[in-house]
Chain A
Amino acid sequence: MQSVNKWFDSFHALNDINFATKKGEKVVVCGPSGSGKSTLIRCLNGLELHTSGTIDVLGIRLLKDGQSLRKIRENIGMVFQQFNLFPHLTVIENCTLAPITTLGLSPAEATERAMKYLDRVKIADQAHKLPKHLSGGQQQRVAIARSLCLEPKIMLFDEPTSALDPETINEVLDTMISLAEDGMSMICVTHELAFARKIADRIIFMDQGQIIDDQPPEEFFLNPGSERAKEFISQILTH
């Protein structure tokens, strides 16, 4: 990502963003609300189109045409704060829809693959329920499995635990930790600093559309690169 800027009309949401990640790297993005974290990761799979600068994902230049977008989305999974499961489809149908439609798998192959990943997030026994009959934590794990079914090379998470009851946060974080341990490249917006410390190779701190800080977690917590980051950490820790 190079000198990326994003404007919403006259609002400068991303201001000269530069960063690169390596294969298998886990990056945690944090920062106060409204600082542009979501915008940043949504630009990576083209849910928002950046205004200027260049974004390359896995060697593909992200342009405004449908072709490069689809090529990139093929390899990036995304998990949302609000899960965004498809409420009219069962858990297993949520997982098989995209593989059947975009990869051309047969229903049997897709089902087999879906069961594998549902098992991976430990929720295979709920496969035939509708999302609304699951708890928040279970729904989010289904959302993770749904993304994994396309076997992406990078996973994006946008505050995956912010909408969850405290008692189900850990099951989702555990799932993400195990993904991380399997070597998945991850970019994760979260305020779960314990989780960040555990899995992150780097922590990026954002404020007002800019990257203020970008360093490994130990250093980030010991020696935040800015007053804003220091304030932010203490706020979260005392929270």
Chain B
Amino acid sequence: MKDWFIEVLGKPNGIIIFQLLDAGQLTIYLSLIAFFGGGAIALLLTLMRVSNSRPLQACSKAYIWWFQSVPLLMLLFLCGLGMPRLFNIQVSPWTAATIALVLFTSAYMSEVWRGAIESVDKGQWEAGYALNLSFMEILRKLIVPQAFKYGLAPTVGFMVQIIKGTSLAYIIGFQDLMLIGKRWANSPVPGSEPFIIFPLMAVMYFCICYPLALYARRLEARSIKRI
């Protein structure tokens, strides 16, 4: 693969492009992990938040409040640099970045989903209870299917935020698009000046994010039409 790039684009351009694309993959993987890992926790948080139990609601609220108030950059520092110092353990940049992004994602996503669930008419809960359905039955069969149309567009939109968020992980040494790009930009190799590298990286982020953003916008337009 690498050789092919060098052959076609020559040195050092082939190497630069290859390494950037390679690192771009990591960006995508990290985003996906953050999305699904964060999504799983968000699911639990949302469930707790809409439940009838005050203590569960409070726990979920506190978690969300805390992770929404701390900037992502701070979370990355805490996971990548703070935790290892504090507990005297080895934490790889991968692990640290994953934990930070999962925490960040879970808090925001559960807020999105809670909003979607609360957009569904309260009368649906009442009708469900009057028909002797249980909390989970109502949630699964009545509320979630209806909340979907409110939650889908902002969820896809938030994926864009996650992808952009991963770019901060370079700060703790995560070898993603950002770090590799910065390294090249700082190197004295001709053809890798910052004014070439950074626009190149911007284009790559754009290529990943734009289709998603577009899709989110389309979904939103569709759900507005349907209401």
Contact = CB atoms under 8 A, between A and B. Distances in A.
Nearest to B131: A98
A137 to B, nearest CB: 18
Interface string A160-179: 00000000000000000000
Interface string A127-146: 00000000000000001001
A87 B133 CA distance: 17
Nearest to B127: A84
A77 B145 CA distance: 24
Contacts of B126: 47, 80, 84
Nearest to B146: A88
Contacts of A74: 132
A76 B129 CA distance: 11
A88 B127 CA distance: 14
Nearest to A78: B130
Q: Chain B interface mostly helix, strand, loop or mixed?
A: helix
Interface in A90-117: 97-98, 101-102
Given A86-B142, A88-B146, A98 B124 contact: no
A82 B130 CA distance: 14
B123 A80 contact: yes
Given A74-B132, A88-B146, A150-B132, A80 B141 contact: no
B137 interface: yes
A45 interface: yes
Interface residues of B, number: 16
Contacts of A86: 124, 127, 142
B121 interface: yes
Contacts of B131: 73, 97-98, 102, 146-147, 150
Nearest to A79: B130
Given A97-B141, A101-B137, A84 B132 contact: no
A45 B123 CA distance: 15
A65 to B, nearest CB: 12
A47 B134 CA distance: 13
A72 to B, nearest CB: 9
B152 to A, nearest CB: 14
Q: Which of B123, B130, B141, B142 has the largest number of chain A CB atoms within 10 A?
A: B130
Contacts of B129: 45-47, 73
A68 B207 CA distance: 57
Contact of A80 (B127, B133, B145, B146): B127
Contact of B123 (A84, A98, A146, A150): A84
B133 A47 contact: no
Interface string B142-160: 1001100000000000000
A45 B133 contact: no
A47 B126 CA distance: 7
A26 to B, nearest CB: 19
A23 interface: no
A45 B142 contact: no
The 3 closest A-B pairs by CB, nearest first: A84-B127, A98-B131, A84-B123
Interface of B: 121, 123-124, 126-127, 129-134, 137, 141-142, 145-146
Given A70-B134, A73-B129, 15 more contacts: A45-B129, A47-B126, A47-B129, A70-B132, A73-B130, A77-B130, A78-B130, A80-B123, A86-B124, A87-B146, A97-B131, A101-B141, A102-B133, A146-B131, A147-B130
29 contacts: A46-B129, A47-B126, A47-B129, A47-B130, A70-B132, A70-B134, A73-B129, A73-B132, A77-B130, A78-B127, A80-B123, A80-B126, A80-B127, A84-B121, A84-B124, A84-B127, A86-B124, A86-B142, A87-B146, A88-B146, A97-B131, A98-B132, A98-B133, A101-B133, A101-B141, A102-B133, A102-B137, A147-B130, A147-B131
